[in-house]
C-alpha cells in the first residue's frame, strides 16, 4: 500500500491473527481488498504456538519410546528406549514452533502488500463501532477470528492447586511423577497417553468415558489400548471439589471417592474468545457457550460482520477454521454467498492407535431418520496390521439401508489418520459400499481396510484370498 492507501479505512478488518485470521486476510487481499489484520499477543494463534504443532511433536517423540518396547512383538528383536532429558525434548519442540511461526505467519505478511498488520486489542464500543487499542477504527466490513482458549471448570478449590491446561502442560520442562487428567475427549486422550509414555503415572477421569462422541466400538477398544499401557481409567458420576493433598492435588468425586496426583491437567474442552469484544453492542449474538452465532455464509446478526474459526464454537479444527475464514472473507469483500459445508469433514485424534472419522456415526444417522446398516471390521482382518503384528483397532462403516450409500466411517488403527481422507472422498462422491468395495487399493496398506470393511457388508472377508474382489 502507498502511504495514502494506508491512511484510508480498510475494506476489511480482520480481528485475530491466528490461522483463521490469516486465512481471511490473505483471501481478502488476493481479491483486491485493503485489509487490516488486527492481532493481540503472539502471532499465529493456537495451532502453531500452543496446540497442533507442539502436541503432535511431543506425541511423536514419546511414540519412539513405545515403539522400542513394542519391537519385541517380532521374534528375535529386543530394543530399548529411554527418556534422558525431557527439557531438551521440549526445547526442540519450541524451536520448531518458533520456526513455523516465522515461516507460516510473520514471514508471510510481507508477501501480501494489501495487508496491514496492527497490534492492539480490538472491541466494539457501546455504540457498536470497532475500536483498536481504545481508538475508533473505521472499516467497511469485519471478520472476527479471535479463536478459543482452554475451558476452566467452576470447581470449588481449583484456585488452590494451580492446575495445568493443554498450554502449560506442553511447556513443562520437568515431568511430574503422577498426573490426573480431567476430561477424556481428544485433548485429554492425547495428553494422557503422551505423558504416560514419558513415564508419568496417569489417571484419566471422565464422566462419559473415552471419546464419548466416537462410535461405542471405537471408544471401548481405545479404552482397552490405553489401559494396557498402564493408564488408569476412572468413570466419575460427577466432580465435587479440588483440594491440596500430600502428593499435590486431590479430586473429590461424587460419591466420596478421592483421586490424588502430583499435578492436575484440565482437558475439559475449549471456550470461544468472545467475552471481551462487547458483541451485544454491535448486534452480534452468541450461544450459551460464547460461540458467535453465524448463518451458513458465516455472517453474524450484524450485516457488516462475519465470524469464523473457533470463536464460533463449532468444528474446532485448524483446517476448518481456515476454510470458514476463506468463505467469510470472500462473502464479505465480493458479495458472494458461499455456504459452509462440513458434511464430509474428516477429524483425527492423535492417540495410538489413531482415531479418525468422517460423516455420521450410527447413532447420529439413526437420529436423523436414516435406516442404517453397519459393518465393523476388526483390524486383525487387515493384512497390513497382521504383517505389522499390530492389530489394535477396527474400522466401522455406516450406510443407508436400501440405497447402500455410505453415511459415515470411523477408523481406529495405528495409521488410521492417513486413511480417513479416502472415506471422506467416498462420502463426497456419494459412493455406495459396493462402489468402495470394488475400488482398486494397494495391498498391504491400512487404507485397504476400508475396501475390506465395505466388502464385509455382504461378504465374509475371511473367505477371500489376498486382494480378492
Q: What is the mean pLDDT of residues 249-261?
A: 96
41 is in an annotated binding site: no
Nearest-CA neighbor of 322 among 35, 46, 94, 10? 46
Cα three-residue angle 229-230-234, rounded to 5 degrees: 120
Phi and psi angles of residue 340, each rounded to the nearest 5 degrees, phi first: -70, 130
186 is in an annotated binding site: yes
Which pLDDT value is given to residue 4?
37
- For the segment 38-50, what is each residue's pLDDT rounded down to a tens digit? 999 889 988 898 8
269 is in an annotated binding site: yes
Beta pairing partners, 354:
413
185 is in an annotated binding site: yes
Indicate the pTM of the whole model: 0.94
99 is in an annotated binding site: no
Which domains are seen in the chain, by residue range?
3-48+91-150+271-334 (3.50.50.60), 158-268 (3.50.50.60), 347-460 (3.30.390.30)
Q: What percent of the chain has pLDDT over 70?
A: 98
- For the segment 209-218, what is each residue's pLDDT rounded down to a tens digit? 999 999 999 9
Nearest-CA neighbor of 451 among 395, 367, 405? 395
183 is in an annotated binding site: yes
Which pLDDT value is given to residue 5?
42
Q: What is the mean pLDDT of residues 54-71?
A: 96
189 is in an annotated binding site: yes
188 is in an annotated binding site: yes
Q: What is the mean pLDDT of residues 110-129?
A: 97
User: What burial class does residue 430 get, using C-beta atoms within 10 Å of its C-beta: 0-12 exposed, 13-18 middle, 19+ buried?
Assistant: exposed
CA dist., res. 333 & res. 353, Å (int): 43
- Calculate the average pLDDT of the chain: 95
Residue whose C-alpha cell is 506425541 = 59
pLDDT band at 467 (very low <50, low <70, confident <90, very high): low
Which pLDDT value is given to residue 466?
76
Which pLDDT value is given to residue 45?
87
Q: What is the mean pLDDT of residues 272-279?
A: 97
Amino acid at each position: 500500500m502507498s502511504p495514502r492507501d494506508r491512511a484510508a479505512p480498510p475494506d476489511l478488518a480482520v480481528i485475530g491473527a491466528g490461522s483463521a485470521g490469516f486465512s481471511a486476510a490473505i483471501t481478502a487481499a488476493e481479491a483486491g481488498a485493503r485489509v487490516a489484520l488486527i492481532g493481540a499477543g503472539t502471532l499465529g494463534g493456537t495451532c502453531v504456538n500452543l496446540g497442533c504443532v507442539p502436541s503432535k511433536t511431543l506425541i511423536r517423540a514419546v511414540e519412539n519410546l513405545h515403539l522400542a518396547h513394542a519391537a519385541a512383538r517380532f521374534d528375535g528383536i529386543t530394543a530399548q528406549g529411554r527418556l534422558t532429558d525431557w527439557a531438551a525434548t521440549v526445547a526442540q519442540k519450541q524451536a520448531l514452533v518458533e520456526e513455523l511461526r516465522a515461516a507460516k505467519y510473520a514471514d508471510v505478511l510481507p508477501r501480501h502488500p494489501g495487508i496491514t498488520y496492527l497490534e492492539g486489542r480490538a472491541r466494539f464500543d457501546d455504540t457498536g463501532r470497532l475500536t483498536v487499542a481504545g481508538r475508533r477504527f473505521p472499516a467497511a466490513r469485519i471478520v472476527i477470528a479471535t479463536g478459543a482458549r482452554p475451558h476452566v471448570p467452576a470447581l470449588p478449590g481449583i484456585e488452590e492447586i494451580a492446575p495445568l491446561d493443554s498450554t502449560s502442560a506442553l511447556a513443562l520442562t520437568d515431568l511430574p511423577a503422577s498426573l490426573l487428567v480431567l476430561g477424556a475427549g481428544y485433548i485429554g486422550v492425547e495428553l494422557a497417553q503422551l505423558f504416560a509414555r514419558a513415564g508419568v503415572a496417569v489417571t484419566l477421569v471422565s464422566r462419559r468415558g473415552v471419546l464419548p462422541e466416537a462410535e461405542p466400538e471405537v471408544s471401548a477398544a481405545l479404552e482397552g489400548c490405553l489401559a494396557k499401557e498402564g493408564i488408569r481409567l476412572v468413570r466419575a458420576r460427577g466432580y465435587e471439589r479440588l483440594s491440596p493433598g500430600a502428593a499435590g492435588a486431590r479430586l473429590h468425586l461424587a460419591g466420596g471417592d478421592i483421586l490424588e496426583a502430583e499435578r492436575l491437567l484440565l482437558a475439559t474442552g475449549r471456550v470461544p474468545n468472545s467475552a471481551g469484544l462487547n458483541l451485544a453492542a454491535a448486534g452480534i449474538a452468541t450461544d450459551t457457550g460464547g460461540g458467535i452465532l453465524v448463518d451458513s455464509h458465516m455472517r453474524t446478526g450484524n450485516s457488516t460482520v462475519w465470524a469464523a474459526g473457533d470463536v464460533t464454537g463449532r468444528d474446532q479444527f485448524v483446517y476448518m477454521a481456515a476454510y470458514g475464514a476463506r468463505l467469510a472473507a470472500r462473502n464479505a469483500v465480493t458479495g458472494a454467498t458461499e455456504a459452509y459445508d462440513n458434511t464430509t469433514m474428516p477429524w483425527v485424534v492423535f492417540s495410538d492407535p489413531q482415531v479418525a472419522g468422517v460423516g455420521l456415526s450410527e447413532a447420529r444417522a439413526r437420529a436423523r431418520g436414516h435406516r442404517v446398516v453397519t459393518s465393523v471390521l476388526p483390524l486383525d482382518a487387515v493384512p497390513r496390521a497382521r504383517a505389522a503384528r499390530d492389530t489394535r483397532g477396527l474400522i466401522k462403516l455406516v450406510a443407508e439401508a436400501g440405497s447402500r450409500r455410505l453415511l459415515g466411517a470411523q477408523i481406529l488403527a495405528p495409521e488410521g489418520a492417513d486413511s480417513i481422507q479416502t472415506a471422506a472422498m467416498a462420502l463426497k462422491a456419494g459412493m455406495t459400499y459396493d462402489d468402495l468395495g470394488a475400488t482398486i487399493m494397494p495391498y498391504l496398506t491400512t487404507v485397504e481396510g476400508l475396501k475390506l470393511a465395505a466388502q464385509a457388508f455382504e461378504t465374509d472377508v475371511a473367505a477371500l484370498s489376498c486382494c480378492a474382489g
